Structure 1
């Protein structure tokens, strides 16, 4: 029987292998299982992180990692896991010279600026009450074992993410997936709303989606008010019925 549970330490060797073998997007899979294990552990440890696994008869067949407040999560990770991740990443690049060269050319400056911002050495780019009032939740990674696909594992993991997030007052999240990959049709079948498209540092075309958990997530703050837009109706059918909330003017 399939169950969705919080990630524990004993799961990490399996989830790190799943991530490395199935998610090619970005730098981290190229740094190996040890780095990925620490990275996943940071989600499980962070007060702003969500780390879930899907188990089928006790065997881990999928995993999900996300945040309830992305900026606060990475600020916490920088302070509490930053040195461990940096050491693991540098160690991995010592034996992967091409990865090290790619990192230096495409990411080193951005990472340095991001770390400085998260530890408070430079001011944050966001300001004002509007930016501070609503944290941005992000579904960072979702992966299933190749032999467990088309069995509803991914949908159940997202249900678990949505349930956890809504208990904390989060009603929608952002996610990014590579155009042409398995994630694009999966998220579109769930009714996720495409909100942007851009290039990654590696030149891949990325699609950014908005994931709506419930009716509250169908509202956006604009100039201090709340304005409704149409919820994609396919989505609640797959994640359960939307809560009954009156439309607000």
Structure 2
């Protein structure tokens, strides 16, 4: 909905994305089906059994996010929506059978939001209200900064329904979160996770992928070196400044 719902790419120079084009990667670029030097490395679909790891790392790397401040129970329920929606993607990275990172995002964010509301809306609402009741200051912050904006996003409209009928052609995919644990960085794992998501978005017919990263200490320069285009600044309601980037998947 806002930067919390759009993207929070982990601000680490260990993450990058190759220069994909509609025809595929250029000569010398790593393919999404190749693996890093670690023989025990693999990327696989995220499962429900992975949610404990994902939520723990989410809270560790994004503790100031609004959803994170609602607590681990809400965050677990929210992250689970990426496993049940056809318009979302969620992958795990493993080394020798141990999780070392993950990526989640929406191939069609508007369609995924409708899925979340229809299939999980009641449960998420009850968990959020329970958390806000226990945190009056956070509840006041929500009323002041997010209530109206979220309400507008949650109102169905014909344009959104039409997008679902037409599929993903022309849609902007959103890379929401990507994390690599500290001890596994420097092996190209973040690069491979992002490449997998970019490939899925390309195969689905999306026109671009977008993300945001922290303005201070974030990975903006690194993304720019790998073909991501700077789109401007986003000031979150709590004052944090983010930088927005797009990765075009089709010429023009």
TM-score range, shorter chain: 0.7 to 0.9
Cα distance in 1, alignment partners of residues 104 and 64 from structure 2:
15
2:92 and 2:247 mapped to 1: Cα distance?
19
Structure 1 residue 178 corresponds to structure 2 residue 219: no
Counterpart CA distance in 2 for 1:150 and 1:95 is 40
Q: Distance between the aligned counterparts of 1:102 and 1:80, measured in 2? A: 27
SS at match of 2:183: helix
Aligned CA-pair RMSD: 2.5
1:98 aligns with 2:137: yes
| TM-score normalized with structure 1 length | 0.76
- Give 1:169 shift: 2.2
Larger radius of gyration: 1
**2:216 matches 1:219:** no
SS, match of residue 171 in structure 2:
coil
Q: 1:2 to 1:182 in 2, by over 3 A?
A: farther
**CA separation of 1:72 and 1:183: change in aligned 2, threshold 3 A:** same
Partner of 1:138: 174
> Does structure 1 retain, via aligned residues, the 8 Å contact 2:174–2:210?
yes
What is the deviation of 1:167? 2.4
Contact map agreement 1:23 1:143 (CA 8 A) in 2: no
Aligned counterpart, 2:185: 149
* Structure 1 segment 96-135 matched on structure 2, within 5 A: 96-115=135-154, 117-118=155-156, 120=157, 134-135=170-171
Q: 1:88 aligns with which of 97, 120, 127?
A: 127
1:143 partner SS: strand
Structure 2 partner of 1:55:
94
Question: 1:167 aligned to 2:206?
Answer: no
Does the CA contact (< 8 Å) of 2:105 and 2:173 recur in 1? yes
TM-score by length of 2: 0.75
Q: Which runs of 4+ in 1 moved over 6 A?
A: 125-128
Pair 1:65-2:104 in alignment: yes
Aligned residues of 2:215 and 2:241 also touching (Cα < 8 A): yes
User: Is contact 1:40-1:51 (8 Å) kept?
Assistant: no
- Number of paired residues? 210
Deviations 1:197-228 (A, max 9, x none): 2211222212110124xxxx2423xxxxxxxx
Contiguous gaps of at least 5 residues in structure 2: 1-39
